[in-house]
Chains A and B, each alone.
Chain A
Amino acid sequence: MENKSGKDLIREIHHIRSGLDTNFRDMVVEDIYKNAEQIYNHSVKVLSDRKYNLDQKLDRILTSPVWGLPIMLLLLGMTFWITIVGANYPSELIARGLFWLEAQMALIMQQLGSPSWLTGFLIHGVYKGLAWVVSVMLPPMAIFFPVFTILEDFGYLPRVAFNMDWLFRKAGAHGKQALTMSMGFGCNAAGVIATRIIESPRERIIAILTNNFVPCNGRFPTLIMLATIFVAAAFPPTLASLAAAGSVVFVVLIGVAVTLIVSWALSRTILKGEASSFTLELPPYRKPSILRILYTSLIDRTLFVLWRAIFMAAPAGGVIWLLANVTVNGQTLAHLISGFLNPLGHVIGLDGTILLAYIVAIPANEIVVPTILMIYSHASTMLDITQLSQLKALLVDNAGWTLLTAVNLMLFALLHNPCSTTILTIWKETRSMRWTLIGAVMPLGLAFLVTFFVAQFVRLVF
C-alpha cells in the first residue's frame, strides 16, 4: 500500500469536495431515506394500523409539551414512593436478622478464645459494615430496579430524553445527554459508559462530567432517610411517605437543574461549541415481559450493585471500627479527626463527623449514613437503630442537627465528588488525567460552594 498515492487521493478529494455543496451528508441521508421508502412501499402492505395508532396516542400524551414533564415527575415520584413505602419493613427485618447473627458470631468467636480486638475488627467492624449495606440497600434496590426496568422495557426512557432534549440543547449540550442522565439515576458509572451514544467528543465530555449531579442508587438511601426524618416529621402520618417522596423528587429536580447549569457553563468556557442536532427515534411501546424484568433487575442489576457495595463496604467497615477504637491520648481517632474537620464543616452548615464519614465512604457512598451515626453515638461500632424516632433524637438532641444540617447534607450528597468506581470509569472512558481530575474535583468544589452559600444565607436571614 503506497502512502504517497493515498495522499494524492486525499488532495483529489479535497478538490472534489470544494466543488460540492456543504450539506453532502444531508443529501446522502435524504437519498437513503428515499431509497428505503421505495423498497418499503414495494413489499409492505399495511392492512390496519391499530397498534401504531395506539402508540401515537400514547406518545401524544407522554411527550406532549404540556403533560410530558408533569407525567414524568409523577412517574418518578411514584417510583420513589413505592420504594420508600415498600422498603421500610423488609429493611428492618433484614437488619434485625443480620445483627442477631452478629451477636451470635461474636459469642462463638469469644468462646473459641479469639482476642477481643480480633472479634471487634472482624465482627463488629467488617461484618457489621456488610450487614448495614445489605439491609439498607437490598430492599430499596429490589423494589426500585424492577419498577425502573418496567419503565425501561415499556419504552418510556427514550420519551424522557425526548421531553428534555431541548433543555440540554439550550445548555449547549447534546440532547442524548437526557438519556445518559436517566441512566445515572441507576448508577453514575453506568451513566458515564452510556455516554458512548453521543457523537461529538465535546458534548460527550460534558455528559460525563455532569453525570454525577443526579443521585445514583447508592445516594438515594441518604436522601430518603433525611427526607423521612426531617420532612415527613412535619406532616401527619398519612401524608408522611408522600411528603418524603415529594422532597426526594425535589432534590432530583435540583440535580437536573445543576446538570443543566454546569453543562451550560462548560459549553461556554472550557468546552466551547454549538450543540449538534440529532434524530431520536421513539421505539414502539412493548408489553414488558415479567420474567425478563425480574431476571434483568434482580440478577443483572440488584445483585451486581450489591456485590460491588459489599466488596467496598468490607474494608470500610474495618476502617470505621479502627477509627472508633484506636485511641491517642485517651481520645478515639474518629473523635480527633472529626474535631479537626469541625471548623470546615461548620462553615458549610455541616460538621466534622459528616465530613469524616464522607472521606471513609469514598469507595461506596451508600455507607455514609451508618458511618455518621456510629461516630455520633460514640459507640464502638455502627449504631443499631431500628426506629426512626430514635434516629431523630440522636441527631437533633445529641448532635445538634438543625434543618440547615439536613438540607445541606442533602445538597452535599447530591453534588459531592463521584464514588471511586465512577471516577475509574471516567478515566477508562476518556483516558485523560485532566478530565478525570476535573470530573472528581469540580463536583466537590461545587458542593462546598453551594452548601457554603446556603449556610451563610440561612445564618444571616434566620
Chain B
Amino acid sequence: MKKNYTKHRSGCEDCALNLEQLGIEVRKWDHVIALAGNPNTGKSTVFNQLTGLKQHTGNWPGKTVVRAEGGFTWNGKTFKVVDLPGTYSLLSASVDEEVARDFLLFGQPDATIVVVDATVLERNLNLVLQILEITDKVVVSLNLVDEARRKGIDVDHRRLSKDLGVPVIPTVAREGIGIGQLIETTDQVIAGEIITHPYRLKVNRKIQEALDELIPKIKRIFPDLPNARWIAMRLLDGDIRVQKALERGEWNFTAGASALDNVQVKEKVH
C-alpha cells in the first residue's frame, strides 16, 4: 500500500512531500479532517488523492449520501479523513445534509477542508459561509482552477483568502496539483501555526437583534460552545434536531476528539 506522492503528476511544490496513502486502514490517528463541499466539486477526487481510495465520482448531485472514511500519514502524523456527503447548504433536514451537519457540529473534526468549484464559485460560497459559522479551523480547496482559467474566470485566491479569513489553496485534484500544499496548510491550521479569522455573516437588522438577545443566554448555559451564533440561528429557525440536542444536554465538549464516537447518524425516516 505504500505509495509515494511524487508518483502522481504534480508540480515541484510537492516534491518534498512524503505522503503515505493509508486507504481505509486507519486504526489510530492524530487528527481528524472533515471533507465538505457542494456536490460536483471534485470532493471525492480530493478524498481519493489523499487516501488512495477509489470512491466513485460522478457528475450529479446526491452521489455520496453517506460518509466515507480513509486516512494518510504525513510528516510522521496520521490523519483520518471523513468524506461528508456533498450538500448545497446545512440548513435543511435531508439525511445527506444532516450527516454532514451533525459531523461538523458533534464530530468536532480538528480541521475541515471545504472543496469549492472555482468555475461556479458564487453558489459554492454559500456553503463555505455556513461552515465558517460552525467551525474556525477551515481550509478552502479552490478546485478546478484549470477549468476556470479555460473558461476565462480569474479568481484572486489571496484576496478571497483575506475576505474569508481562512487559507484558500488553488487545486486541480484530478492531477494532484496543490494537494501537497493543502495538506501542509491544513496541518498548520490544526497546529495553530495559522490562526484563522473566519468571516461572519452580515445579517439584516431583525435577525441581528434576535441573535443579540439569544446568544448571551446560550453562552451562559454553554460557555464552551464555539459556535453559539450558528446554534442561535438554527434555534431561531426552529431546527428540531439542534433543539433536542440542547434539551438533552447532548453537547459534551470536554470529551474532545472522542466525541467522534458519539456521532449518531440518524438514518431512520419517521
Contact = CB atoms under 8 A, between A and B. Distances in A.
Contacts, number: 207
A70 interface: no
Contacts of B268: 430-431
Given A283-B40, A292-B57, A43 B156 contact: yes
A460 to B, nearest CB: 43
B125 A27 contact: no
A39 B164 contact: yes
B235 A13 contact: yes
Given A28-B91, A196-B94, A284 B163 contact: no
Query: Which size bracket describes the interface of B in this complex?
Result: 35 or more
B112 to A, nearest CB: 18
B203 interface: yes
Main secondary structure of the interface of A (DSSP, over half): helix
Interface string B120-148: 11110110111000000000000000000
Interface string A136-152: 00000000000001001
Contacts of A208: 269
Nearest to A276: B92
B115 to A, nearest CB: 14
Given A46-B152, A283-B60, A284-B119, A24 B237 contact: yes
A430 B269 contact: yes
A390 interface: no
B156 to A, nearest CB: 5
A44 B237 CA distance: 32
Contacts of A153: 58-59
Query: Which size bracket describes the interface of A in this complex?
Result: 35 or more
A44 B155 contact: yes
B213 interface: yes
A20 interface: yes
Interface stretch (B11-19, B181-189, B204-212): B204-212
B122 A36 contact: yes
B83 interface: no
A194 B154 contact: no
B152 A35 contact: no
A166 interface: no
Contact of B58 (A45, A50, A51, A152): A152
Given A1-B252, A199-B92, A432-B270, A47 B65 contact: no
Among B93, B94, B217, B251: residue with most chain A CB under 10 A: B94
Contacts of A193: 65
Given A39-B160, A194-B65, A284-B120, A1 B267 contact: no
A12 B236 contact: no
Given A10-B243, A201-B269, 10 more contacts: A6-B246, A16-B214, A27-B206, A39-B199, A47-B152, A158-B60, A176-B62, A197-B95, A284-B119, A295-B54
6 contacts: A12-B217, A13-B235, A31-B207, A35-B202, A196-B95, A284-B120
